[in-house]
Structure 1
């Protein structure tokens, strides 16, 4: 964890600096959430959807708007639609914390956010065709720059709701509930219909602690199957598995990679893996290139090709996968659960085009 976290400065034009209230200075390290295996329950807790977007702290300065990423980078130039909305609807001095998202046919589309960074001259057209929204879940400084980090969440939330009451439609307060039954509905319906990733739970009396994991994050996962097309490490001692699914044309498409396997998982899987067959010309018959292209991984911060060992795509495994699935791939690494020796690759659901949905059932 980086040391600190919030810059405080004395407000200028005050005759007595000792009595001047502090104001937030960027960059501010946002408060974070620790992953949990179940949604926590109990008195004093509130729950919010975990949106599939980019974390963003927005500074409404007297002379404009500044958008800061979770890592402290300047996002302002990529979201002129959001800066206009904040400039028009938020009073100077306010500092907000929330998530940038793009809606596409009623569902969040993470890929459209990424396009903002690489759009270049096409950015104005992209903004018109795929406008962004800023879903706000916290208020760090009120109108006039008054810092309210130490106030309870319930009070910060009340101030935020009042501030957004007359704001443009692109700015909205995230839903919040104390009803665990409503949380269940979110997880059951919204993960598919709206593309939320899970639930963030917070204490109503909690203060905002920059850089601290003071919230709880439950991420929705689904249990499903995939085909092993390759491994890192070696065939005799696999460290992670590279997974695929067959599309409608019968091609094995790369869909993602697992977290590191446990020792017993590595031993059991190695017994079933074998090198890929040879083609008639004496070359290895495998549908994926070697190394795996950097663009396939979807990791913008580590754009290097992946060396791996190709295997005969005949082994089916069970995985627990995140609901974030775009461009026919899981964006995050999946959890390897177990081998499914009772299934063949033809039993694994088809990989469909994005216009058809995520997966189809083989019948």
Structure 2
């Protein structure tokens, strides 16, 4: 491979803001695996956000890249798995599997797509110093004849339309909106774009915590919600506490410590139990050798957390602690309090609505 921009490349990143800024290029924020795709003839390298190779996990995309991208180019985009008209992150995650036979089976059953939203090089030209608006023109020309499963990400400079996308597209499994300054060069691994994500709040039962890697203080709180059968399901965690607050939380929660035998998630170490209930995870392909053990607490305290959206029956990302809710009974912390997002057809999103 001999390209003007060679792998590995870390993608340009975005920082969170609360509102959509004016005077920029706007795109939907896709919920998938960020990827930098290098193609030089038949050679294709797909790199992750951290620069690690993803090529072997998406053989169908290697073929699609050869069929749809210019012979020599570097593309920034998102790998997604569409399923029943929306993006499905759980099915996407299943693709990171050590067995090649399993990967190829899933490539047939739930094929991935590539949504391209930036271009770093084409032919012998590096575009890293080229302004965003000009790169967009090059990208549109490069993908003018592309077809599924390779898609050109819709983009606009109309702030009002971007607001509509933000309000409507979540139902297709999207995260929010990304705003890019029109004169912005491509800056790998720098947070120079802006992302606007949905934020909602929910009252959750605190049923345990993981110990922080630095010592005997709280690393993250384990959150639960009751389902319609009255079973407390593990729905995610909240973290990102200052170190002083971590120590304070350990003291506050000490009176609630209990044994696993008395806890609703007593079966967490049994892999088979995870098939019928949401339990704190054991070792898996994402955690590697990371310690997944946790401290059980009597499920008596309720906290309010901020979250962006759900993936199935759990929080898609780490939530943010807002406050304790001593006025709420744990039994009232159910899935029923969560806002139901109106479904939206992914095909309309890809066409720009």
**TM-score normalised to structure 2 length:** 0.81
Looking at structure 1, the residues matched to 303 and 186 of structure 2 have their Cα atoms a distance apart, in angstroms, of 42
Contact kept, 8 Å, 1:316 with 1:343, in 2: the verdict is yes
SS of residue paired to 1:310: strand
Partner of 1:249: 229
Quote how far apart the aligned CAs of 1:196 are: 1.2
Preserved contact between residue 36 and residue 216 of structure 1 (Cα < 8 Å): yes
Q: Which has the higher contact order (CA 8 A, sep 6+)?
A: 2
Partner of 2:325: 340
Q: How many Å separate the matches in 2 of 1:95 and 1:174?
A: 16
Tell me how far apart the structure 2 counterparts of residues 147 and 46 of structure 1 sit (CA, whole Å): 21
Equivalent residue, structure 2, for 1:175: 154
How far apart in 1 are the matches of 2:126 and 2:217? 54
Look up the match of 1:222.
Answer: 200
SS at 1:23 equivalent: coil
* CA shift digits 1:141-193 (9 cap, x unpaired): 12x232122211111111111221211221111121223332322232212x1
Check conservation: 2:140, 2:152, Cα contact below 8 A. Answer: yes
> Is the 2:25–2:156 contact (alpha carbons within 8 Å) kept by the matching residues of 1?
yes
The structural deviation recorded for 1:61 is 0.8
Task: Name the CA distance, whole Å, in 2 between partners of 1:284 and 1:63.
Answer: 57
Query: In 2, distance between residues paired with 1:314 and 1:343?
Result: 10
Q: CA deviation at 1:223?
A: 1.0
Q: What is the 5 A alignment of 1:43-54?
A: 43=23, 45-54=24-33
Q: Which runs of 5+ in 2 are unaligned?
A: 271-279, 342-353
Mapped partners of 1:109, 1:238: distance in 2: 31
Match of 1:42 among 22, 25, 28: 22
Answer yes or no: is 1:70 the counterpart of 2:27. no
- Quick check: 1:31–1:214 contact (8 Å CA) kept in 2? yes
Q: Does 1:315 align with 2:301?
A: yes
Mapped contact 1:272–1:315 kept (Cα < 8 A): no
Quick check: 90-99 or 70-79, which moved more? 70-79
Task: Give the TM-score taking structure 1 as reference length.
Answer: 0.79
Contact 2:65–2:150, Cα closer than 8 Å, also in 1:
yes
* 8 A Cα contact 1:276 1:284, kept in partner: no
Q: Residue 288 of structure 1 is aligned with which of 254, 261, 265?
A: 265
Which residue of structure 2 lines up, in the alignment, with residue 55 of structure 1? Answer: 34
Deviation of 1:302 after TM superposition, in Å, equals: 5.0
Would you say the 8 A contact 1:265–1:338 is kept in 2? Answer: no
- Native 8 Å contact 1:149 1:207 kept in 2: yes
| TM-aligned CA deviation for residue 335 of structure 1 | 0.4
- Conserved? CA contact 1:93–1:146, under 8 Å: no
Distance in 1 between the 2:116 and 2:261 partners?
52
- In the other structure, the counterpart of 1:84 is 63
Verify: 1:29 aligned to 2:10, yes or no. yes
After superposition, the Cα gap between the structure-2 partners of 1:292 and 1:213, relative to the gap in structure 1 and judged at 3 Å, is farther
**What's 2:344 paired with?**
none
Equivalent position to 2:79, from 73, 97, 100 = 100
Q: Is the 8 A contact 2:227 2:334 kept in 1?
A: no
**Structure 1 unpaired stretches of 5+:** 1-8, 12-21, 359-363
Question: 1:303, CA displacement in angstroms?
Answer: 4.2
Structure 2 counterpart SS, 1:240: strand
